[in-house]
Amino acid sequence: MIEIVTLVILIVVIFLILFWLKKFLFLFGFFFKLFLLVLLLVVVGGLFTGYLVVKDANNFKNNFGNSTSMVIVQQTNTTANTEVFLAGVTFNPKTKEFSSMTKKNLTNAQALYDKGQISTLGTNYYKVFIVELKSFDDIKLYNISDQNINLTGDEIKRVMLSDNARLELASIIASKNGANVNDVLKSLSATDEGVKGYILSYYLTTVFNPSNIGEFLTQLKNDNIKVYENTALFKAIKYVPQSLINTATNNKVTNNSNTNSS
């Protein structure tokens, strides 16, 4: 807020100086008036935009933590020009509870997205986040399914892309601890959607963690996370230099595996 006030004062001072110099610029009166008009529009537009961003930031701060939102993992194939939903969860940061989306719900969400109507889900959820699968590259999942193993980013992708996520995960676990695939499979009580939902819930507790705000902002800026509705705050983040994000947030990822999923 201090920075905005300082900027306004500086602009006013410049305006007064230019106005005082007007008598020396009478030969260029038209251009001078045009300059003043443009300057006025820039000032008014900047102040109005700043107001919208601050208002939206307060709205997000006050409502996100107490509301249920939806997060969907998407794989984008730029060559084939396709965008496919792979998994989704609904979550409430206040209760820290996650619920995996069923195939039917995910299909319905995909249909709305394809029609450009994904924002209509906002009537039931505070925000809808679309997460690109490639954003999992630097995320490691620790101690999944009480098997004391780690999943790399590539292994996470294999599970998320699989039509049989339980079997894929069981195969990965078995290969790492020398167990029988069928025995591991029997120990996994979750459905395919539940397995993917658990992985996604871990991603949320990592990237959406307040201590990882720098990573969250970076993913937003790089379009690895898209928000609907895409309001003023999230639009403004696109224009923030990455160096400023890194400096302001000391950008680094902190893993957090404490999640409750269903």
The mean pLDDT value for 33-43 works out to 59
Q: What are phi and psi of 116, to 5 degrees?
A: 75, 25
Q: Model-level pTM?
A: 0.74
d(CA 77, CA 167): 25
Average predicted confidence (pLDDT) for the chain: 78
Closest by CA to 84, choosing from 55, 110, 112, is 110
Q: How far is C-alpha 100 from the chain's CA centre?
A: 18
What are 64's two structure tokens?
Answer: 């996100």
pLDDT above 90 covers a percentage of the chain that reads 19
Residue 226 bridge partners (DSSP): 130
Whether 194 shows a pLDDT value over 50: the answer reads yes
Alpha carbon 88 to chain centroid, angstroms: 14
- Kindly list the domain boundaries of the chain, sorted by start residue: 2-63, 68-262
pLDDT exceeds 50 at position 54 = yes
- Per-residue confidence (pLDDT) for residue 159, from 0 to 100: 92
pLDDT (tens digit, 9 = 90+) per residue, 153-163? 888 889 999 99
Q: Which 3 state secondary structure label does DSSP give 39?
A: helix
> What is the C-alpha end-to-end distance of the chain, expressed in Å?
42
- pLDDT tens, residue by residue, 123-145: 788 899 999 998 887 666 665 54
What mean pLDDT do residues 177-184 have? 86
Residue 23 confidence (pLDDT): 53
142's CB contacts (< 8 A; 6+ apart) are: 150, 255, 257
Q: Is pLDDT at 150 greater than 80 in this prediction?
A: no
- C-alpha to C-alpha distance for 243 and 42, rounded to whole angstroms: 25
